[in-house]
Amino acid sequence: MASNIIILMMIMVLRVVEGAAERAFFVFGDSLVDTGNNNYLATSARADSPPYGIDYPTHRPTGRFSNGLNIPDIISEKLGIEPTLPYLSPELQGEKLLVGANFASAGVGVLNDTGIQFVNIIRIGQQLEYFAEYQKRVGALIGSEKAKQLVKEGLVLITLGGNDFVNNYYLVPFSVRSRQYMLPDYVSYVISEYKNVLQKLYSLGARRVIVTGTGPLGCVPAELAQRSRDGSCADDLQQAAVLFNPQLVEMLNGLNSEIGSHVFVAANTNQMHLDFITDPQAFGFVTSKVACCGQGPYNGMGLCTPLSNLCSNRDEYAFWDPFHPTEKANRIIVEQILTGTTDYMHPMNLSTIMVMDSKA
């Protein structure tokens, strides 16, 4: 019985790769999925110096907030397609455009005032404007009708929300937003603004959109260093995640009902992270509290720089820097995106999506 299940899974994965061969991939969001757009901006939200990229194939920093590959890279790898280039990269020309594009920018949130301390970042409204511009560029290359089809058949990943809490509401005590809203009201406001973003994305032609929730915000090394006395997750940020993630799923269900199709798919990245945070040894990690690269308590203070403490084996750490997972942790997350049950992916995982779309 077990061998039959394994064979079926292998067939499914093969069919996914075959169905993905010519499918464009578009990425929107923040530092968890940015592949280097911020390299081209005058901003402090950057990952273009060592030891970032230490385990990337070139062993050089790329602008990814990772020791190696990040979530979009690994999704592309699993689907057998080229990795998408940052939209601001001068290499994104000609045939490369047909692969898709990554519009994400470290530091951004759903709200425009999120990440203002980073100065020049590509806020989500601008990312969507670039998406419209991208379609015109592709239209000039292959014709407007084929460009529309490319986008319609494309896969979209969007990751937003975490910075609206970490780099806005809870950035400083008595922040503007925390004085303006009680937390439940702020969550509702962010969700309502996120709905506008997703409706705009739909109006621009996106028809298969994976929307990730926030991770367990209070459990990252940066928050442990600032807010935890005993290594337990910070309650206030955890409460934000507990409120935000179910409301996000509810909002996505509502959008799908309005549209009459499963356009938006919810990825429960909160649970995906919690799995290896609560039981790191089960996934081969030595720790899920201490960052591989950083300084201070839990290596959670400041930035990851050449002067930081640096672990020798990144595969033993769930977190690379004070906020971001290691490549190994990202691979665990992508595995759930691909094949996870409805506890992780609602209403279906990416493998199911690709098989369904290959039959359409």
Active site residues: 31, 321, 324
Do the Cβ atoms of 302 and 296 come closer than 8 Å? yes
Residue 211's beta-bridge partner residues? 158, 266
Do the Cβ atoms of 345 and 205 come closer than 8 Å? no
Do the Cβ atoms of 37 and 104 come closer than 8 Å? yes
Nearest Cα neighbor of 303 from 110, 50, 39 is: 50
Neighbours of 136 (CB within 10 A): 11
Distance CA 271, CA 236 (A): 18
DSSP state letter for 296: S
Identify the three-state secondary structure at position 4: helix
Q: Which amino acid is at 148?
A: K
Task: At 12, list the tokens.
Answer: 């499914």
Length of the chain counted residue by residue: 360
How are beta strands 309-310 and 345-346 bridged, if at all?
unpaired
Phi, psi of 247 (to 5 degrees): -65, -35
Distances (CA, A) of 229 to 71, 276, 297: 31, 21, 10
DSSP state letter for 208: -
Distance from first CA to last CA of the chain, Å, rounded?
30
